Amino acid sequence: MIRRGIILRPFIEQLVLKHRQQWEQDNRSKRIGNLRKFASEHRICLEENQLTVNDWAVLEHLAKLLGFYEDAVKTLEGDGQQRKRKGGWVGSYGNVWEVIQGFEFLLEVFEDYKQLASEIPDAEHFRININLGGEKLNKYYSRLDETPIYYTALALHLAFWWGYFENEWKDNTKWVMEAKQMVREVWEVGLSSPAGGPESSRRRTSCEAAAKVLQPISSVL
């Protein structure tokens, strides 16, 4: 709706101008050329019913912010299967290891917009909404601790391992330690092979990769 409004802005402004010109034409005295004193304007022409230049600027910022949300949500939708996509590239959507990255990306976006909101004049509602949106995002991000698989999937990904956490959370070593502890618990409870049970080659490969990642943890736990 916001995007549509921005696209239609020139036509909306033209419509207001047309109504104003028609109103002035209908209510201007032909004898002295002044507007009639008690003539009431169309609602569309009233100042309180129009968007200011600043209002349009805020809407453009909101549209861009919501676009980041849309991109993040679309990236996380899917079944994680590699397929040929539009444009000819091959990739997957809905990968578990991308959830934490998605949250971190949006949190960084919100920090940028908090700074932006503080610089826009007469944008109190915009600032309030940005702060509320950031708080809500943090609330749901903290709930990822209830499902350690998100941390485990990222830690066991060969392109990331612990480097992602250590770089992204370099100022919060406690978070890194807690993530490592959660991954170790997942390993000890669910990924290690049951005693005496058969082990497929695929499972054996997964366990070896997990052990390679988890081995350094023992020195810091």
Q: What is the pLDDT of residue 37?
A: 66
- Where residue 122 falls (left for φ over 0; alpha for ψ -120 to 50; beta otherwise) is left
Q: What is the pLDDT of residues 160-213, one digit of tens each?
A: 888 899 988 988 889 999 999 988 888 787 655 555 555 545 444 444 554 554
Residues 109 and 197: their CA atoms lie apart, in Å, by 48
Sequence-ordered list of residues with C-beta below 8 angstroms from that of 9, at least 6 positions apart, any chain? 56
CA 161 to chain centre: 24
Q: What single DSSP character describes residue 37?
A: T
Kindly report the length of the chain: 221
Q: What is the pLDDT of residues 78-125, one digit of tens each?
A: 766 777 667 776 666 778 888 999 999 999 999 999 988 888 887 888
